[in-house]
Chain A
Amino acid sequence: MSERFSSVDDVTERLAALGYLASTSVATTVFLADRLDKPLLVEGPAGVGKTELARAVAGATGAGLVRLQCYEGVDEARALYEWNHAKQLLRITAGRGETWDATRDDIFTDEFLLARPLLQAIRSDEPSTLLIDEVDKADLEIEGLLLEVLSDYAITVPELGTLTARHAPFTVLTSNATRELSEALRRRCLFLHIDFPEPELEERIVRTRVPAVDEALAVSLVRVVNALRRIDLRKAPSVSETIDWARTLLALGADSLDEAVVDETLGVLLKHTDDVARARAHLQLDEADGRR
């Protein structure tokens, strides 16, 4: 059992020191993932800080971050390891006159193994944090590969045998739920759904990230963002968009929110034109236009 964190409060404090304000559920789950030595599967809408969480944990525990970015078609050679064929060929040509047995024993050794993220994290001498980003983008076959890594923190290389981790890495998997992950993968992980934060937390996040924003402005802009999230939009504004919006408002020199300001800057929050139209209708910004 690894003990990177001493308590849930400890998690909250140390993540906060790095500028990541964790909600209770995030802090509790991170603490449990550490104590139970289980990987953490994080789901949630885009832009709520899933990847950021892995970075913050890496920073807080002082363990290097190893990142595997998944995409359609990512394969064993990209995720686990690959034999350095070119180097092996050179070795064979160099060892002319050697017996085949000696050559064979030599070319399948560590020297010729190219470690990809998963193997890197497993073999690292230092404790590490492993981030497997957007697992849902990868093909189903990759999930099979992940199973051994996630449950035993081990990788089997047929020519070398099974390599077991010296330090079980703190593992975070993120998913945007574009595809249903397999039950086997889910079962090996602790599950964390990060949703848009509570208004109080979001206010604090905005004020940490954009210190120049005063409290009143932070409160009112978070209220507007929350009102927007409650209507049916194609893409609800995320935390990062709230922060962008706060920066925009600062740049415009607006110190309070009114219809005109919101109307002008709605494009920062919403990325689809019909979303903008719907938001304007909902907040009745058009009426304001008429009155002016």
Chain B
Amino acid sequence: MSVGSGETGSLPGRLVAMVESLRGHGMVVGTSETVDAARVMEVLSLADRALLREGLAAALLRRSGQRRVFDAVFDVYFPVGVGGRESVREETQTRATGAGDDRSSEPPTVAELREDLVDALARGSGGALNEVAAAAVDALGAVQGADGPGMAGSGWSARQTLEQLRPQTAIVRALARRGSTEGFAERLDRDEVRRDVERFRELVQSEASRRTAEVRGRERVARYAVRPDASQVEFLAANRAQVLELRRAVQPLARRLATRLSARRRRRNRGQVDIRRTLRRSMSYGGVPLQPVFEHRRKARPELVLLCDVSGSVAGFAGFTMLLVQALRDQFSKVRVFAFVNHTDEVTELVTSGESDPAALAERISSSANVAPWHPSSDYGRALRSFVSRYGNVVGPRTSVLILGDARTNNLDPDLDALRDVVARARRTFWLNPEHESRWGLGDSVAPAYAQIVDMHECRTVDQLSRLVGRLLPV
């Protein structure tokens, strides 16, 4: 391993730089943890990189979701080696790479790499996959700089590598090579090969960022090339994989929030002293209040109404929150969910029955609920008005209303009075806006106008959402 040599200088310096980078990704790492990490380095020999990785993880991490970010940052600061890997170098030398910078002169390399990939997939071996990933980035990933191919003027691109290699094309051949019999075993094989291709993509990604780190400096790469933790991903910017990750986070998050809510409820029920009854009881002890009597609280659970904008721009956010609230439903006496684009319709049933298949929730809402009878773009004024006129009686003095949306009305009438109606009927009303606060009021957003009437909170990430839900929801 190449720790100690290299431009970042001393080992402690590199550790501190890595800790800085972890903090930049939203992880809380204190000085004591850093000291622990240094002790770990002292106790473990630096010869084994896998051990070092586990050791530093044990000292620096505090919760389970952080591991992926840690691994990516670790790869940047404690790389396998510098430059192309030796095994790869030898191979490419014997292969006599062409000097042309257009792809047409390189097809043998791409074909050979794909052959290697098929082979690795067929064997299902993680080590072989890793080697192919390294070779592929070395051969295909160099972003053409002024120095010519292979010299990587400005870095190494995982995307470029994957676009040329197209690993998904290897699936069919790898399956054929596995020669599995039809039926059950074959389906298992298919499942595994697909997962391995996903893993291959990740390997290419980390190899490319390792190589780029050498060219451009670690801090830069660690800042931009490491995907953020699921809880830090912005709802509006989440890609497909991240949405899946978010969805998986619903159940554990709901469980944590449920404990938090019930703790709040317990604390609240630790009622106040009922002075009259305490004095009354103290009579038998000569006026000494030995046994205080507490006021009884009605143990009524609150009702919750969720009103969600499900138009394209914010659908991911709405979907996530619907699932979360649904998972929390036993914390409330009643939960009703309404969806709108420019017309409001009740979707409680759809969300409840959709628990087993959250992926299809959005489609089912748009196909079986009447949320956009006239045109496909959102109209908050009309939607709120239709909510008040059709479901006004749902909202009562025990109801808390949670409105989700970005308050972008496409320059239509915001109908503030309709919102005032809702606020007046409900016990509490909150608005969660998935946009950054600095963008409220820009363009067709009428967020500031609505914010005058209701409590509006910025809610861009799962972190923020769980904090808001834990704090705001009534108990």
Contacts and interface: CB of A to CB of B under 8 A. Distances in A.
Interface of A: 8, 24-25, 28-29, 31-33, 35-36, 38, 43-44, 140, 177-180, 183, 186-187, 190-193, 220, 223-224, 226-227, 230, 232, 234, 257-259, 262, 274, 277-278, 283-284, 288
Contacts of B64: 43-44, 177, 193
A43 B184 contact: no
Contacts of A193: 61, 64, 67
Nearest to B355: A274
Given A178-B256, A232-B248, A227 B58 contact: no
Nearest to A40: B58
Interface of B: 28, 30, 32-33, 36, 39-40, 43-44, 50-51, 54-55, 57-59, 61-64, 67, 183-185, 187-188, 191-192, 195, 247-248, 251-252, 255-256, 259-260, 263, 356, 358
B55 A24 contact: no
Given A179-B259, A283-B187, 5 more contacts: A8-B44, A187-B30, A191-B61, A258-B183, A288-B184
Given A24-B51, A259-B184, A230 B62 contact: no
A284 B187 contact: yes
Chain A interface secondary structure, helix, strand, loop or mixed?
Answer: helix
Nearest to A200: B126
Contacts of B356: 274, 277-278
Given A29-B54, A177-B252, A183 B62 contact: yes
Contacts of A257: 184
Contacts of B260: 179
B454 to A, nearest CB: 29
Contacts of A186: 62-63
Contacts of A274: 356
A227 B195 CA distance: 10
A32 B58 CA distance: 8
A74 to B, nearest CB: 16
Contact of B259 (A178, A192, A227, A234): A178
Contacts of B44: 8, 28, 31-32
Contacts of A180: 256
A277 B355 CA distance: 14
A35 B45 CA distance: 13
A28 B58 contact: yes
Nearest to B266: A139
Contacts of B61: 191, 193
Contact of A227 (B30, B192, B251): B192
A41 B184 CA distance: 40
A187 B32 contact: yes
A191 B62 CA distance: 6
17 contacts: A24-B50, A29-B55, A29-B58, A32-B40, A32-B43, A36-B39, A38-B36, A43-B64, A44-B64, A140-B263, A177-B64, A190-B58, A191-B62, A193-B64, A193-B67, A283-B188, A288-B183
Contacts of B263: 140
Given A28-B51, A178-B259, A179-B256, A223 B188 contact: yes
A230 B191 contact: yes
Nearest to A263: B184
Contacts of A183: 28, 62
B222 to A, nearest CB: 21
Nearest to A180: B256
Contacts of B54: 24-25, 28-29
B463 to A, nearest CB: 12
A232 B256 CA distance: 19
A186 B66 CA distance: 14
B192 A223 contact: yes
Contacts of A140: 263
Contacts of A178: 255-256, 259
A214 B266 CA distance: 53
A187 B33 contact: yes
Contacts of A278: 356
Contacts of B55: 28-29, 32
In this complex, the member of B67, B191, B192, B251 whose beta carbon has the largest number of chain A beta carbons within 10 angstroms is B191
Contacts of A38: 36
A33 B252 CA distance: 28
Contacts of A8: 44, 51
Contacts of B188: 220, 223-224, 227, 283
B214 to A, nearest CB: 27
B35 to A, nearest CB: 10
A223 B59 CA distance: 32
A160 B19 CA distance: 43
